[in-house]
Structure 1
């Protein structure tokens, strides 16, 4: 509610909030699958890295980050969470200065189930995309091509240049 002395709240409008809420809801459903299967302590956000380590073996944080398309900083935080949860450990790397991330026995015991869930999730997503007239994967590709023509940064900067509040 806006009163005469209260500025309007621009955060009440969001074109992307429904997408974020949809993804959070779908992640909650995946987490529910794990809970029903008594796979405790796994979050949907952990699975890609665990599957990647299972498929490729121990990697440095840099190698793992590059393989999943994340920043070193983001992966460092995730590895810390995975280590705390007992899914990975760090071991000496190829030289004294490097460390590699590897799966723990607990992770190796459930990784087959995680791979099965990943395949089932991808199949369910393909099914969903077949039901809708304009699949999300097509939307993402179209947005990526539009951003190749003109970056999101440049689009935002142009709008800010037109807004006196940004001065």
Structure 2
């Protein structure tokens, strides 16, 4: 789905914008400047994830930083380019949510339930542990999947 959204951006002449940028840009437009910690809290993401996203958005001239309340903090602000994209990103966000809702009417298992069920399963045993255990399993060439 992200690849399709990125394709839509490119069709609209929006280069260098990834779907993961939309929600942080929208939040910054509505809240004003925030530190990475504040933005992470607003979005329910980790500091590390938001730090990486902000760095990528800076490279695309969507955000900049300014001094924060003390010498240790920096606040993230929208650039003119970032601000100019917010109306489209808000419309795309609403359209994406509507498309997901439409898609859920076409399948017997709601996508939101899939995400919830996956999160619950991964909370009991993380994906990295599952992969590591399979890497340690005895080599059974008959059970090996074809590599691309």
TM-score, with length taken from structure 1 = 0.71
For residues 117 and 137 of structure 2, the distance between their equivalents in structure 1, rounded to whole angstroms, comes to 32
| Residue of 134, 147, 166 corresponding to 2:109 | 134
**What whole-Å deviation, never above 9, does each CA across 1:67-112 have from its counterpart, x for those lacking one?**
2222212221221111111000001112232110010011111110
Superposed counterparts of 1:54-73, under 5 Å = 54-73=29-48
1:152 matched to 2:109: no
Indicate the structure (1 or 2) with the bigger Cα radius of gyration: 1
Unaligned runs of 5+ in 2: 139-148
| Residue of 23, 28, 38 corresponding to 2:13 | 38
| Residue of 66, 78, 84 corresponding to 1:91 | 66
Unaligned runs of 5+ in 1: 1-25
For residues 45 and 103 of structure 2, the distance between their equivalents in structure 1, rounded to whole angstroms, comes to 27
| Residue of 102, 121, 125 corresponding to 2:96 | 121
State the shift of 1:44 in Å. 1.3
Q: 1 or 2 for the larger relative contact order (CA 8 Å, sep ≥6)?
A: 2
What SS is found at the alignment partner of 1:133?
Answer: coil
TM-score, with length taken from structure 2 = 0.79
State the shift of 1:38 in Å. 1.4
Corresponding residue number in structure 1 for 2:84? 109
Bigger drift between 61-70 and 83-92 goes to 61-70
Change (3 A) 1:120 1:97: same
* Structure 1 residue ranges, 4+ long, deviating more than 3 angstroms after superposition: 142-148
